[in-house]
């Protein structure tokens, strides 16, 4: 499966998951292929669990990322990793 392009994925994350603190990794660490999400500014939908919870409940989160978002990222051909407790970086799988 071909991974969704970076610009398109950033737009989907912004629109569908309401994560507005999003940027390319160039501005974060100089890497020219990733997407950085600031987890401390979780603008998730009202009534839903936060998308990021560094020490989240294992039933609702996969490695601190809400299950539905984690599954979406994988489906789009990307993977995530925590940089620190305030930032998640996405890279093509």
CB hemisphere CA count around 32 (13 angstroms): 0
In a domain, 70, yes or no: yes
- Token pair for residue 25? 């990794």
Residue 54 lies in a domain: yes
- Residue in the structure block whose two tokens are 């984690």: 70
50 domain residue, yes or no: yes
Query: Above 80 in pLDDT, residue 2?
Result: no
**Per-residue pLDDT at 57 exceeds 80:** no
According to the model, what pLDDT value does residue 72 have?
A: 95
- What average pLDDT does range 65-83 have in this prediction? 94
The CB-side HSE value for 52 (13 A sphere, CA atoms) comes to 22
Residue, of 62 and 57, whose pLDDT is higher:
62
So what's the pLDDT on residue 12? 94
Q: Which residues are bridge partners to 36 per DSSP?
A: 23, 89
Residue 30's pLDDT band (cuts 50, 70, 90): confident
Structural domain that includes position 76: 6-92
Q: Would 1 be classed as within a structural domain? A: no
């Amino acid at each position: 499966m071909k991974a969704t392009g970076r610009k398109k994925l950033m737009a989907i994350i912004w629109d569908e998951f309401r994560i507005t603190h999003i940027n390319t990794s160039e501005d974060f660490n100089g890497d020219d292929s990733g997407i950085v999400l600031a987890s401390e500014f979780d603008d998730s939908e009202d009534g839903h669990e936060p998308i990021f919870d560094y020490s989240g409940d294992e039933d609702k989160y996969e490695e601190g990322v809400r299950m539905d978002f984690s599954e979406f990222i994988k489906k789009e051909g990307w993977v995530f990793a925590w940089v620190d407790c305030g930032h998640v970086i996405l890279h093509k799988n």
